[in-house]
């Protein structure tokens, strides 16, 4: 089962179930679950939960003239959907979202959008 680690700014939203998606360069295919952490491999490591993967989609984020474009599974997102994606990913706005990706990864960015729901505690998934 793969591990996903989150910056502290996103930890509470992941733990509470408000943030149920992330964008990464890749993920191991075929695994139905993912462990969610903040501070992985540090003394401040905290397990935030176990997610049941509900979707994996290809995503490309790139500059387009003076603006930016986002494609999910080859479909360009409208401004409304770009804003919604940014907010669902834990950012205050699409401007904050794109600034993060520019600084963190550089553009163009190509990766995967991973969606999950927190597992029900009636399961016992290790």
Can you give the pLDDT at residue 1?
78
From CA 50, how far away is CA 72, in angstroms rounded? 25
Can you give the pLDDT at residue 121?
58
Paired strand residues for 19: none
Domains of the chain by residue range:
3-118
* Domain 3-118 is found in CATH 2.60.40: no
Beta-sheet pairing, 3-6 with 33-38? parallel
18's CB contacts (< 8 A; 6+ apart) are none
Can you give the pLDDT at residue 79?
93
* Percent of the chain scoring above 70 in pLDDT: 95
Q: What average pLDDT does the chain have? A: 91
User: With 80 as the cut, is the pLDDT of residue 123 above it?
Assistant: no
From CA 73, how far away is CA 117, in angstroms rounded? 21
pLDDT band at 31 (very low <50, low <70, confident <90, very high): confident
More confident residue, 124 or 113: 113
Summarised one tens digit per residue, pLDDT across range 45-102 is: 999 999 999 999 999 999 877 789 999 999 999 999 999 999 999 999 999 999 999 9
């Amino acid at each position: 089962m793969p591990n996903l680690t989150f910056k502290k700014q996103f930890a509470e939203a992941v733990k509470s179930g408000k943030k149920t998606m992330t964008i990464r360069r890749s993920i191991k295919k075929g695994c139905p679950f993912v462990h969610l952490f903040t501070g992985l491999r540090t003394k401040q490591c905290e397990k935030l939960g176990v997610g049941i993967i509900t979707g994996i989609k290809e995503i490309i984020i790139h500059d387009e003239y003076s603006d930016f474009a986002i494609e999910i599974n080859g479909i360009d997102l409208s401004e409304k959907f770009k804003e919604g994606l940014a907010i669902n990913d834990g950012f205050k706005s699409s401007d904050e979202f794109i600034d993060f990706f520019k600084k963190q990864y550089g553009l163009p960015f190509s990766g995967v959008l991973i969606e999950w729901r927190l597992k029900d505690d009636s399961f016992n998934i290790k």
